[in-house]
Homo-oligomer: A and B are copies of this chain.
Amino acid sequence: MENAQPTRYELLRVLTQTAAGTPMGTLLRSFWQPVAVAESIAPGQARALRVLSEDLTLYRGENGTPYLIGARCAHRCTILHTGWVEDGQIRCMYHGWRYDGTGQCTEMPAERHARPDLVKIAGYPVYEYAGLLFAYLGPAPAPAFELPRKPALEDPTRLRFIRYQEWDYNFFQGTENSLDATHVSYVHVWGKVSRFGDEITTALPELSYEETSAGIRQTAYRSATNIRISDWTFPNNNHIVSPGARKGDPWSDNATWHVAIDDEHTMRFAVSTAPSTDPETDKRFAEDRLDGYNPADHYRELFEEHRIPEGIGTGQVIASQDYVALRGQGVIVDRSQERLGQSDAGIALLRRIFLRELEAIREGRPGKAWTRLSEAVELPIQVPG
């Protein structure tokens, strides 16, 4: 019965499965995606990294160049990140086999008739951008590093803050939340916070969603002086603008990515940039993005004591609220139990696009050729009165 129609459960479950060989795993592997904060790894150091259910070794050569190769030595399968970085290569601590940044073995010291040229483990290209390390985990050749670029992220005159968190849930719940403007009026009024709270109000917006060359344009119309248009880029980046901590403070650009560690864990990257003005305003901006609090470490406090954390930046409060909503769906929500409404139009469009692209993969056809938004329609925008 291989041709039997999948059940609704099976159809939607595919959206959450990211291992190599799965349709979603194949789709996600055809894009550059952030896999680490650039500062999380120093020159000459190595660390373990799990992305899309795949175990890897991330290291920087002694000159700082980042490399991403397979997790284990081909010899006796020991983890490589506990080894030694030598120049641009890494040596296994068990028997000294050495690999370059493409995963090519280059030395097997105890072997009399060594043929390292016959031994290769996985190796993936890495691109450093906006304070993050992006990787491409698909088959060669890698596409040009174009789709993830945003002028606001690469303007060297702007302030930049990066936040990284790991949450114990499936990445697609976070991705869907980016296309769900309604949630803002409920999730984020809990312990209504600062000017972000004032701006959003509880007025339910008029929503519209439109597929673009890069992803989805999402428009939330609350009044003629309150229109937010955000820029969602396929397959897992959202880009919005937010007001500053006080009236008059500059607005910031905020780009977030949800990248699967595996199907039950997700890396969340957030890059915020804003124009630098005076030291006091710059400080407020920084404080609002202070790192160090991860709601996933505070499940009990958030879910059982219903306490929203105090003394942390607005960005962290918002992340905590989202954590309660999204982790509250379960680690992997069973979408066959849902009842979507007309206000879920963004989620419905998102799924239609993903299911269309997954269908192409299953049938061996090329998917959509996503391209950056042209400067003419550059997003996101907030229409002030």
Interface residues of A (CB under 8 A from B): 45, 47-48, 72, 74-79, 81-82, 92-96, 108-114, 119, 180, 182-183, 185-187, 190, 204, 302-304, 306, 324-325, 328-330, 333-335, 337-344
Chain B residue nearest in CB terms to A205: B110
Cα of A111 to Cα of B328 in the assembled complex, Å: 22
Contact of A75 with B325 at beta-carbon distance under 8 Å, contacts A183-B95, A186-B96, A303-B82 already known: no
State whether A324 touches B93 (Cβ < 8 A): yes
Instruction: Identify A77's interface contact among B77, B79, B190, B337, CB under 8 A.
Output: B337
State whether B339 touches A119 (Cβ < 8 A): yes
Contact of A110 with B78 at beta-carbon distance under 8 Å, contacts A187-B94, A328-B94 already known: no
State whether B339 touches A82 (Cβ < 8 A): no
Report B-chain residues with C-beta under 8 Å of the C-beta of A333.
Answer: 76-77
State whether B343 touches A186 (Cβ < 8 A): no
Instruction: Identify A328's interface contact among B82, B183, B304, B324, CB under 8 A.
Output: B82
Report B-chain residues with C-beta under 8 Å of the C-beta of A186.
Answer: 92-96
State whether A338 touches B110 (Cβ < 8 A): no
Report B-chain residues with C-beta under 8 Å of the C-beta of A77.
Answer: 329-330, 333-335, 337-338
* A115 → chain B closest CB, angstroms: 10
Instruction: Identify A204's interface contact among B92, B110, B204, B329, CB under 8 A.
Output: B110
Taking A74-B338, A77-B329 as known contacts, 4 extra A-B pairs with beta carbons closer than 8 A to each other, sorted by chain A number, are: A76-B340, A76-B344, A79-B329, A94-B183
* A191 → chain B closest CB, angstroms: 11
* A43 → chain B closest CB, angstroms: 14
Cα of A381 to Cα of B324 in the assembled complex, Å: 51
State whether A329 touches B183 (Cβ < 8 A): no
Cα of A119 to Cα of B204 in the assembled complex, Å: 21
Contact of A343 with B76 at beta-carbon distance under 8 Å, contacts A93-B186, A325-B93 already known: no
Report B-chain residues with C-beta under 8 Å of the C-beta of A75.
Answer: 338-341
Can you list 9 pairs linking A and B with CB atoms under 8 Å apart? A47-B304, A75-B338, A75-B341, A76-B344, A93-B324, A93-B325, A95-B343, A110-B204, A112-B342
